[in-house]
Structure 1
């Protein structure tokens, strides 16, 4: 049994695959009505439409029901549905090829339309007459209509329907006026008598018949010659139309018809005509609204659109949404046709099987159902495409597969956007039904078991392909390097080029090329791969990872230029490095070691090139790719040898040729687009934009593939091949870092204890008074004994050569291999050694006391100036001598232990220094004695306190023993003066100031003169301290003499005053 014998109706019969609003041939109309399939979905739409349409004219809601919006994707049958509605509403009588007449409604009997209620509503609808005006709005519009395009089209088709001029509205308006006056026929007769030609035939050439028109108007309307002439000259320029006037003309027309008569405007493809032009859409809304109110429900508008009206509103700017949403109120009835409707129509109209065929196909499915389930499998790069769900599905779809209905529909939608000629595909396009018929006819002579491959649908779209696309495919036929199968492959890749349901991978192409139920996929896959290689070699397709993409001639030219774009090895290295280290490995240039929470710098290299510039680190990790010049020579033994010589880990990536070819293609494409992207060249810009999108996809795929490549890379470190356990890229990187770190820093384990807050510990150590409490001894629990011994030994060895050692040198040494210790922990060790007097700090050649060291050590710039020196032990005799000297200097014996004695002495001398500094300030301000003593004593103390260590300190003490003893005497005098004698000195100064006024008189008294001289001598003495005890007695003596002298003077004055008083009294009396 062959394919064509399976169907109830001939497969090769003439089917009008293209539904056109203006196609009214009787035979075509009859076939449309006879074969029209009312699916379950369409039955619901019929019900909804006629329930609304049969609303009584006296119903208050009728004015708001006159708008109907029918939407559906390309090929869903909305235009066909609209046309069938026009046949029913007009209830035309159709004549078949035998001359029999049958009205449209009679086609919709119980066999076609099962719901009796719907049939009743249809009968009710056609009881009253109606003018049905069906038209495609795009074909009726003039290019110059612009903003009034919608209104002008409605006026044109309304005028044409009444027999008036469609192209010249002012002429139609004259005809309307003549009709209202019942003189239109007289006018046509008068015109024909005057001109000798028919009015209807020649009215579009009215300019050439001015005299004849004016003559006919004067005869039929009784106008004067002047009035008729004026009308002709001015009517075209003065004529205007508004939505309201148009609706009134419709209402006036309805008044001439029976009471229940209606006018219906059935407008096809209004959605794509309006597009996003809100003015046109609002005009349509206004027409619908005014027709409803002015004509009181007797004038209807039914439109079709590619898009859902809600979606159109949703795309509007928010400023226009409120106005635009009024449209929804004018189209109360909204019908949406889905893909299931198309599937059902094709199955019932084209693929309906005979009973014998159904039985035969069911048997085939019983035998080969499992094979069919496995044959049609697609990869997971797109949405799931349907397969046969069971025997019923197989019978209803055969020789097609269910996925064809999904995929072909999407192909039609996308190709009409990018590969069709003309502004729209309203004319010349092939419907889904036509496409499936052509594909089925192509294998109709084959035996049952044959299947339709996707390339069989290509002839259905070939006729409206863009020239560039068609030329590419046609030229492939003449290419001697290609095979016949290659052309089929090229057609298939073109059809799925812009479809997001499926990608052109080898797996998917195998499924799309299956032509029999028992197809062997293995040789088919081989044939397909060979074909893809030939097409790619000819630049007819391009590979993007696993996907193959069709190229037009223009795209091919650009692809060739992209492939010819030069890229350097440094560009390859840079991009690969960026992808691996920054994208895949998240730019990890440090590794945090969990045991000490320290970040260790990682020197990263890509094929021998540093990733972070010239950056020296102990830990280095290199990734070697096939881009490396020595890649092929880097076998296991050489990789082991390469990593043994230095602290390095190495990842050797496998040679995935396709991946690295994709990376080169990405670089070439990216470079070409950046250099040649010129927005003014629209075709080139479009192609480059597409290449850019493909390149983004390519880059994402490369990243994922590099992750897999990194996970499977060979890993070597420190002369060993590693078997890493982690299966996550970042965890695997961390595992390699940990191995490298722990084996590079072989003495890292000397650090037995890591402090959570080392700087806090440093501060506590430096300021501690109780050394035992802080476990500062070398065998303490937190002392890191082995690490401290290493640091101490290093400092000791350096000190033997009198080589100055800076703190930063110590930290640099022990942060590097083989130690790798945290910097803060090293500083803490130095502080612990200093606190136990094993070392000491020096800053600017001055001993830096532990209690003053914290802020200096914490500041990196200041720390670079700090030296650390091993403390020299003082011999016992020198220590004993120094201790004995403390008794003489401080009146108490210092501690016997060197460190404690040193601290004791330093503390005492610092007290001296601080007090002398205070006394110096007082002397400078208050004229106290001791300036010379202070000036000589302070430098001596400063010199002693600057000793670098206890050894030097005690040696200086013994060397300067006599000076220190003299200093002690001087300090004691000064200290006693300022603590006990300062008030006596101030009494002396006060007395001298007081006696200065009577000094001449006092000097006449021998005792007073002597006492005053002694006071002056004490005040002027360099060291008056032992004489200050005389001051109170001398002051008392002087005060007594001074008071006696004052009393004598007072008595003498009083006597003289008495004599004066007596004289005055005598004179008065």
Structure 2
């Protein structure tokens, strides 16, 4: 012993004095010898092998004897156990171990640790999928009677050996009998589990409190080793609890539920949860195994009755009956039923329906015409109802009400009205669908009328459709019940408007009459100035049909077409005559120029230059289609262009140096119309007046001639 450190000898010496179990002392010495030999795993089995000193030993008794010795040594803090490993403790380690064991740990801390391992690490998910409908259900986490987190309708409670009534199977049956939404999982007994749980918590608490920079190095090392051992202890606890959860007994609906054990605790929880849902939600079967999605709801709302229900839509499903019965019952009790109410009712037991399943069934009732969907007292259309179902923000103020019972006679009357108004058989049979179909066609007709009224500037007679448009707009905003009960109030007005206004205008609009009317309108607009020069009775007929309130009636269009053809020819003839007259005037002017003495002096290029504007006018006249423009061009040639080109001719015929030598004013042409006669009277009454005026005119003419001006007559 002289080679052994003193503090280690003290531990062995103390054991020799205080222990009356010689074999336990031998085991302690053996553990001391292998303490620092890390390759040897000091499990109870290995220590048992190490302690064999007789080849004929009874192994079972020997192992039991070793285990008893290890328990004694651990209890008195000569050694410590971490999982399956036993380790000799030095004096310092022994002191720390005793302090650890003296730490106070309450059951709440144990429960929290169990929750972290069982629910957070092993099960992990706060929702578990029900395989039949692929939906996930939330649950309440519960350990040994203590609720952890938010409370849900379904509950998974795990009973551990730490539970006060652990082993009381009658209690578990009684609790699950009273709560069919509860699944209890009772872990098998494990003598080391709770001991290791508390040791883990005590060690962690001690290390947290004992860390200090003033600790000796050996104490720091011991605390570090304790921390590492504690981490390993936790990993071991996870493995143990996963195994125990897989072997747990399951209690459902007042009895022990037979399930095959498994090595994975989560797998057993998920399997048990499938049966819990079937027990808690027996009415979930009403939805069948169809997986309902947003697309399912959209498909139902946007489908026709025949596509959804075939030819027989009288038999509704069990799920539809449940929702309809609730809506009707609450209506009789004067209670409003919102979408939120429906969801809260059918998501709980005995239903357990998920949102898309509830809305799909509701949508089918809506399409069958069994219920109405309203917001702020307004009846919703198909697309509006779809938006309300899918938008959770509107569920509180979206109400379901039973479909009003409609007298079959009223349904038949509206169907007949549909046929008469729209010239086709109503495709719907249910009251609400008939009303919706009628209203949809009214809206469609209203759009078509508004499109026609947009052309009223070119077709003034279309204003006659405005009253009909107003009536259709009124009907489009009415609820289906009003449409049924007030058919007689609007039937005659609507059908009269169809016969007197709508049908004739449609026939006009889509036939030859519109083409003729358009040609007349365009002819009058394009030839407005030409028509001022035409004297014709046909023009009155064109204007009459263009301004008539019903141009499509009688023979107005036919007669107007004949009148248009006649007056068109007259206009063309008049234009041609005006063109010929104007061209003759231009050609006469050209002859006047050619006969002028100065013109003869010009060479060919200058002659072409002088005559070019007149030739251009002739070309323009040939293309001109307005009489006023033709006459204006003729006057301009006579009064302006002729004078301008005469002056141009003189300019070209007179050399610049000749004008300087003669010192005479340059010859300049003016028109007779530009000469102002100084005569006091505004009219000629007598011969003396004529002579006096002629004398004044002569005086003005001579005055201009003396100024070397030439007067174009």
Normalising by structure 1, we get a TM-score of: 0.48
> Within 5 A, what are the aligned runs for 1:888-907?
888-891=420-423, 894=426, 897-898=429-430, 901-902=434-435, 904-907=437-440
**Secondary structure at 1:771's aligned position in 2?**
helix
Residue 491 of structure 2 corresponds to which residue in structure 1? 961
Instruction: Tell me which of 528, 545, 548 is aligned to 2:86.
Output: 548
Post-superposition shift, 1:467?
5.5
Quote the Cα distance in structure 2 between the aligned partners of 1:814 and 1:603.
Answer: 19
Q: Which residue of 2 aligns with 1:664?
A: 198
Aligned 8 A contact 2:305 2:367 in 1:
no
In structure 2, the residue matched to 1:746 is 282
Q: Distance in 2 between matches of 1:776 and 1:1009?
A: 63
Matched, 1:536 2:82: no
Q: 1:1053 aligns to what?
A: 582
Deviation at 1:541, TM superposition (A): 1.8
1:615, CA displacement in angstroms?
4.6
Contact between 1:592 and 1:599, CA under 8 Å: does it hold in 2? yes
Deviation, structure 1 residue 727: 1.1
Q: Which of 261, 264, 271 is residue 727 of structure 1 equivalent to?
A: 261
Which residue of structure 1 lines up, in the alignment, with residue 226 of structure 2? 691
Q: Any residues of structure 2 matched to 1:755-794 within 5 Å, and which?
A: 755=290, 765-768=300-303, 771=306, 777=312, 785-794=317-326
> Structure 1 residues 708, 908: CA separation in 2 closer, same or farther (over 3 Å shift)?
closer
Partner of 2:455, secondary structure, is helix
Matched, 1:833 2:365: yes
Tell me the residue number matched to 1:488: 26
Task: Please tell me whether residue 913 in structure 1 is matched to residue 427 in structure 2.
Answer: no
* 1:606 correspondence with 2:107: no
CA–CA distance in structure 2, aligned partners of residues 682 and 917 of structure 1: 95
Cα distance, 1:645–1:933 mapped onto 2, change above 3 Å: farther
- Alignment match, 1:642: 175
Alignment partner, residue 192 of structure 1: none
Alpha-carbon distance, 1:941 to partner: 3.8
Alignment of structure 1 residues 431-470 onto 2, 5 Å = 463=3, 465=4, 468-470=7-9
1:683 deviates by 3.4
Distance in 1 (alpha carbons) for counterparts of 2:330 and 2:463: 43
1:111-143 CA deviation, whole Å, 9 max, x = no partner?
Answer: xxxxxxxxxxxxxxxxxxxxxxxxxxxxxxxxx
* Deviation per residue, 1:806-825 (Å, 9 max, x gap): 45543443332112245444
Aligned 1:357-506 pairs, distance under 5 A:
463=3, 465=4, 468-474=7-13, 476-477=15-16, 480=18, 487-499=25-37, 502-506=40-44
Residue matched to 1:298: none
Structural mapping, 1:79-90, within 5 Å: none
Distance across 2 between alignment mates of 1:657 and 1:834: 61
Is the contact between residue 846 and residue 947 of structure 1 (CA under 8 Å) also seen in structure 2? no
Q: How far is 1:961 from its partner?
A: 2.9
* Mapped partners of 1:898, 1:778: distance in 2: 10
Change (3 A) 1:978 1:482: farther
The residue number in structure 1 matching 2:235 is 700
Counterparts of 2:102 and 2:520 in 1: how far apart (Å)?
107
Residue by residue over 1:823-874, the C-alpha shift from the partner in whole angstroms, topping out at 9 and shown as x without a partner, is: 4444443343344433455578666555887677566667787655443342
- Per-residue deviation, 1:667: 2.0
The one of 407, 421, 428 aligned to 1:875: 407
Deviation per CA, 1:955-999: give whole Å up to 9, x if none: 354443355346535544654454345545543442343233346
Pairs within 5 Å for 1:272-291: none
Question: Which residue does the alignment assign to 2:645?
Answer: none
Alpha-carbon distance change, 481 to 940 in structure 1, aligned in 2, over 3 angstroms: farther
Question: Does the aligned pair in 2 maintain the 1:648–1:740 contact within 8 Å?
Answer: yes
CA gap of 1:1049–1:507, structure 2 versus 1, over 3 A, is closer
**What's the TM-score, normalizing by structure 2?**
0.68
Q: Are the structure 2 counterparts of residues 958 and 909 from structure 1 closer, same or farther at C-alpha, using a change threshold of 3 Å? A: same
Report if aligned partners of 2:129, 2:136 keep a CA contact under 8 Å in 1.
yes
Mapped contact 1:573–1:606 kept (Cα < 8 A):
yes
How far did residue 733 of structure 1 move?
2.5
Alpha-carbon offset, residue 558 of structure 1: 3.3
Judging changes above 3 Å, is the alpha-carbon distance between structure 1 residues 843 and 634 closer, same or farther for their aligned structure 2 residues?
farther
Aligned partner of residue 747 in structure 1, secondary structure: helix
Determine which of 247, 252, 269 is the counterpart of 1:717: 252
Alignment partners' CA distance in 1, 2:579 and 2:307: 79
- Is this contact kept in 2: 1:814–1:826, CA < 8 A? yes
- Residue deviations 1:643-668, cap 9 Å, x none? 34432122344664531121111123
Report deviation, 1:1032: 3.8
Asked if the contact 1:567/1:667 (under 8 Å) is kept, the reply is yes
2:349 equivalent in structure 1:
817
Q: 1:483 to 1:1063 in 2, by over 3 A?
A: closer
Q: What SS does the aligned partner of 2:87 have?
A: strand
Partner in structure 2 of residue 169 of structure 1: none
What is the alpha-carbon distance in structure 2 between the residues aligned to residue 764 and residue 831 of structure 1?
Answer: 10
> Which residue of 2 is the match for residue 153 of structure 1?
none
Q: Is the contact made by 1:626 and 1:655 (CA closer than 8 Å) also made in structure 2?
A: yes
Deviation at residue 642 of structure 1 after TM alignment? 3.1
Three-state SS of the structure 1 residue aligned to 2:527 is: helix
Q: Is the 1:919–1:978 contact (alpha carbons within 8 Å) kept by the matching residues of 2?
A: no
What residue in structure 2 maps to residue 624 of structure 1? 159
**Residues 296 and 360 in structure 2, CA contact (< 8 A), matched pair in contact too:** yes
Post-superposition shift, 1:598?
A: 3.5
For 2:403 and 2:141, the matched residues in 1 are separated by 42
Note if contact 2:105-2:202 (Cα within 8 Å) is conserved in structure 1: yes
CA distance in 2, matches of 1:722, 1:1038: 106
Structure 1 residue 1041, shift from structure 2 partner = 5.3
Distance 1:757 1:533 in 2: 60
* Cα separation, 1, equivalents of 2:83 and 2:311: 65
Higher relative contact order (CA closer than 8 Å, sequence separation 6+): 1
2:566 and 2:491 map into 1 onto residues whose CA distance is 44
How many residue pairs match? The answer is 589
Q: In 1, are the aligned partners of 2:176 and 2:183 still within 8 Å (CA)?
A: yes
Structure 1: segments with no counterpart, 5+ residues: 1-458
Q: Summarize deviations over 1:617-645 as a string: whole Å, max 9, x none.
A: x32111233545xx249944544443344
Gap runs ≥5 in structure 2: 601-713
